[in-house]
Amino acid sequence: MEYVTLNNGVKMPILGYGVYKVNPAECERCVLDAVSAGYRFIDTAQAYYNEEGVGNAIMKCGIPRSELFLTTKVWISNAGYEKAKASIEESMRKLRTDYIDLLLIHQPFNDYYGTYRAMEEACRAGYIRAIGVSNFYPDRLIDLCRFVEVAPAVNQVETHVFHQQEDARIIMDRYHVQHESRGPFAEGRKDFFTNPVLNEIGEKHGKTAAQIALRYLIQRDVVVIPKSVHRERMEQNLDVFDFVLDDGDMQAIEALDEKESAFFSHYDPETVEFLTGFGR
């Protein structure tokens, strides 16, 4: 496994297992499979409704908690200092842990400054090792970085070969915020797994299109959290550290960037109405 070092000195695996859209009923099994396959970094969120499954797996997996890296996220409906503080305690209870390695604000809406103050407090108290944000576009990220006491360590944003976030990456680098990919496979959209460029490079290296896509992001120091409910694919997604993409490979994949979301824009009013209404 390779690691990145966050701006507060915490080491974070560059590849983890994401449980977005993993059914709560099978989350425990999936996380146990992932840990058994070799994953030591699990990414969940309050809004995924599967924190308890992750927590159960952590308790049963046989791996010391100190060897695991756990991320969760505070949802919009829990925004504001008091609600966020209570929700953090609830997440820790569901996750069956007395500390969280990385805590993120899930979306840039509602009183995220109040949420961040609760997160800063938890970080100073020692039961959160690092704090950051998710889905913060450059303008929101700059605004937050300029007016908080503990700099965000991570920004988890949609990032894949068709939306590489180069402009956003400039801002993240400027403020020493680690770039983390949400949806590294674009959830299969745009014929992701049959893309001829990814498959041609995959044939060259004896790898799948998915492995090539992950390796590309890893070589650009982007943290990735691929999701699968199938043990075989979990293992494949982890098997990306025994080869290196050359300059030609990297340039060919860089050319796939369409510079737009495969899903939606956080500037779209209908999207904002949906997100801010979810979970209320």
Helix orientation angle between 81-95 and 112-125, rounded to the nearest 10 degrees: 50
Fill in the DSSP letter of residue 199: H
Q: Which of 48, 112, 116, 216 is catalytic?
A: 48
For residues 186-219, b (16+ Cβ closer than 10 Å) or e, as one string? beeebebeebeebeebbeebebbbbbbbbbbbbb
Compute the distance between CA of residue 22 and CA of residue 53 in angstroms, rounded to an integer.
10
Instruction: With beta carbons less than 8 A apart as the criterion, state whether 280 and 109 touch.
Output: no
How far is C-alpha 22 from the chain's CA centre?
Answer: 14
How far is C-alpha 249 from the chain's CA centre?
Answer: 25
Query: Taking the CA atoms of the chain, what radius of gyration do you get in angstroms?
Result: 18
Instruction: With beta carbons less than 8 A apart as the criterion, state whether 50 and 29 touch.
Output: no
**116 is known as an active-site residue:** no
Nearest to 74, CA basis, from 41, 33, 104, 100 = 104
Which residues are annotated as catalytic? 48
